[in-house]
Amino acid sequence: MRIQPELQGTRILLRSVREKDIDDRTAIGRHHEFVHMCGGESLPAPEYPDRAFWERWYDREKRRGAGGEYSWIIDLQGRCIGSCGLHHLSTEDKSGTYRIGIFDPAFHAKGIGTEATELVLRFGFETLHLHRIDLKVLDYNGRAIRCYEKCGFQKDGILRESALIEGKYYSDVIMSILEDEYWNLYRK
């Protein structure tokens, strides 16, 4: 089993999931904006599932970190506020797919997603020596698209009307960043 590295940023720490994160997720609950930006159903009000719901989430996160992907909790001052990761890693073509979610709406539009994304890009290109990192984002998630563009991702194309959400079709935007683009943007 490979070691899950911690990635330290200016304000946040990307780390493995801990049992204490169950309490943080229970307190945060599920919010409409987070669920909708991930392609889920509308929530008329925040939901606060019981602890057993978040224990299952914790178990899934542990399996992710133990499997063939890198999965981090976004930790702000000792508190779990989101998660991110690299999955679909291919040693053959040196590529991976990025994912991120900020669970707590109090931390949306605060630069946390940008910092987490930059930490994962640094790890992907400087440690794993990937050639390409890509992602898929719903076309209505403008805040995420702006974050990804700020971090160097470029739009590759659109999967037209590929997501059926609450009876309506939406498109997914495919974005990627290549190693030379990363080095040109982040060269010290």
Mean pLDDT score, 61-89: 88
Name which of 80-84, 91-95, 115-119, 162-166 the model is least confident about: 162-166
Residues 15-72 pLDDT 10s: 999 999 999 988 888 776 777 777 777 766 666 778 888 888 888 888 776 667 899 9
Burial of 102 (0-12, 13-18, 19+ CB in 10 A): buried
Query: Which residue, among 108, 151, 115, 147, has the nearest Cα to 133 in the 3D structure?
Result: 151
Query: Which residue, among 152, 53, 171, has the nearest Cα to 98 in the 3D structure?
Result: 152
Which DSSP state fits 152?
Answer: T
Residue 14's pLDDT band (cuts 50, 70, 90): very high
pLDDT for 45 equals 66
Decide which of 49 and 78 is more confident.
78
| CA–CA separation, 34 and 56 (whole Å) | 19
Residues 137-164 pLDDT 10s: 999 999 999 999 999 999 999 999 999 9
pLDDT for 43 equals 65
| CA–CA separation, 87 and 64 (whole Å) | 9
Mean pLDDT score, 100-111: 91
Dump the DSSP string for 120-144: HHHIIIIIS--SEEEEEEETT-HHH
pLDDT for 85 equals 94
Instruction: Give the chain's mean pLDDT.
Output: 90
Q: With respect to CATH, is domain 7-182 assigned 3.30.70.920?
A: no
pLDDT for 41 equals 74
pLDDT for 1 equals 47
Query: Which residue, among 137, 111, 158, 125, has the nearest Cα to 10 in the 3D structure?
Result: 111
Residue 9's pLDDT band (cuts 50, 70, 90): very high
90 pLDDT higher than 60: yes
Which DSSP state fits 47?
Answer: B
Q: Which amino acid is residue 183, in one-letter code? A: W
